[in-house]
Amino acid sequence: MSEPQITLYRLQACPFCERVVRTLDELDLPYRSRYVEPMHSERNVVKRVSGARSVPAIVDRETGVTMSESANIVEYLNGTYGEGGA
């Protein structure tokens, strides 16, 4: 089994995170799902990979892209993996 190239950092029941999950599912993209703590101060792993503690955040090893903010992520995923994408 090959490792998914995309890792999603998420918070349980976070609507913005679910929005990214919907897009990943629509595009049939496999991903690793990593849950972090609600407490902002306890999200050092997210800060380390993305530079900020906000979720959702994704790391795409296929393209080398790391990104926060659900609107940006959805746009990136659709643009990269959607129909008419690169």
Point out which residues bind other proteins (CB under 8 A).
9, 32-37, 42, 44-45
Least Å distance, CB 9 to other proteins, is 7
Q: Select 40 or 85, whichever has its Cβ closest to other proteins.
A: 40
Least Å distance, CB 11 to other proteins, is 10
Least Å distance, CB 68 to other proteins, is 16
Q: Select 2 or 84, whichever has its Cβ closest to other proteins.
A: 2
Contact 44, 21 (CB under 8 A): no
Of residues 84, 85, 47, the one with CA closest to residue 68: 47
Contact 23, 76 (CB under 8 A): no
- Asked whether the CA dihedral 71, 14, 8, 27 is positive or negative, the reply is negative
